[in-house]
Amino acid sequence: MAGNSLGTQFRITTWGESHGPAVGVVIDGCPAGIELDEKKIQKRLDKRRVGQSAITSQRQEPDEARILSGVFEGKTTGAPIQIEIENKDADSSSYDKIKNVFRPGHADFTYIKKYGIRDHRGGGRSSARETACRVAGGAVAREFLKTQGIYVFAHTVQVSHIKATKFDASVIEKNDVRCADEVAAKKMVERILEVRKDGDSVGGIIEVRGIGVPAGLGEPVFDKINADLAKALMSINAVKGVEIGSGFSAVELTGSEHNDPMRIRGAKPAFLTNHSGGIDGGISNGNKIVARIALKPTPSILKEQQTLDINEKETTITVEGRHDPCVVPRAVPVAEAMMLVTLADHLLRNRSAKV
């Protein structure tokens, strides 16, 4: 099976290299009748765009989305939706120097091993530029989910050793790291500037939430909604871990502490806690879906590192170019997109559950 598609009934297929003429996404299986235009997609792409703030890469890409198919008179038609984003500020010159050397922590070595050939310009297919297409696909999923009362958002909960300790949704988009804790946000930005000055980088943790998700989504025993979320989120560049609900902290709890008690609240079934992250037995339970991802520090750093060249000779490398010292803030809309696509897919799949 070819590997550039995600989802089954609602399926996105991304294509394009960092420094090729364009990148894009085909969304197949989007139901007909959803209101969609380029502004709705652009709004989301703008959140992932480079050059937004002092802490991101200074590459200038307008990232303009163009819808080429699947929408007629402002509505989806059921036909595949092609969204295309031109690459405008692709500067391959800084990559020429390192085209024959494997950047540590990057996919250079593994792409050569797998394919025997590699588009080295800007990381080619393995570049995070590909995630713009995920965001575009997620924006379409978002419009579909909106019609079903479902909403998804993400926020940064940790950068380096600095953790958010408060949650104020209204401040997320007001700071450069997309953190719901203003005080922590400031420290996170400081920490990022500090490592950048040092020619280094840091990682972080993002939390994604799905609000208004009805009970019933997920297809046991393999396509459980947590399993499909884990896959979608783990497929994001730099992600090293995925948690649902209590995640790794579940390990130190007992069953009596961890099980979410059920009561009736507002005449409806409710869970008094949400250690499950909104999922029991691989199926959504009606509570908030909560997932967290750990992102490693950006591998592109100015410090000299030990590596090999393509002839497998030992050498060292210093990665120049315009890199983010911390990919976490720009990965926030990508993480949202992955949950959006997964929920859209499972919402459609669940339509087959009963006769």
CA neighbours closer than 13 Å in the CB half-sphere of residue 179: 23
For residue 274, the minimal CB distance to a second copy (Å) is: 12
Q: How far is the CB of 171 from a second copy (least distance, A)?
A: 21
- Asked whether position 277 contacts a second copy by CB under 8 A, the answer is yes
Residues 279-318 that bind a second copy (CB under 8 A): 279-286, 294-301, 303, 305-308, 312-314
Does 100 help bind a second copy (rule: CB under 8 A)? no
Which residue in the set 88, 97, 114, 174 belongs to the binding site for a second copy (CB under 8 A)?
A: 114
Q: Which of 143, 341, 149, 311 is nearest to 235 (CA)?
A: 341
Size of the site for a second copy (CB under 8 A): 156
Nearer to a second copy by Cβ, of 59 and 275: the residue is 275
Cα 40 from Cα 340, distance rounded (Å): 14
CB closer to a second copy, 174 vs 220: 220
Q: Is 23 in the site for a second copy (CB under 8 A)?
A: yes
Q: Which of 136, 125, 113 is nearest to 46 (CA)?
A: 136
- Please, which contacts does 304-311 make with residues 24 or more away whose CB atoms are closer than 8 Å? 305/104, 306/104, 307/101, 307/102, 307/103, 307/104, 308/101, 308/102, 308/109, 309/100, 309/101, 309/102, 310/100, 310/101, 310/102, 310/112, 311/100
Is residue 170 near a second copy by the rule CB under 8 A?
no
Q: Select 5 or 58, whichever has its Cβ closest to a second copy.
A: 5
Q: How far is the CB of 44 from a second copy (least distance, A)?
A: 18
- State yes or no: residue 355 binds a second copy (CB under 8 A): yes
Q: Helix (H, G, I), strand (E, B), or coil: what is residue 74?
A: coil
Site for a second copy in 205-244 (CB under 8 A): 205, 215-224, 226-235, 237, 239-244
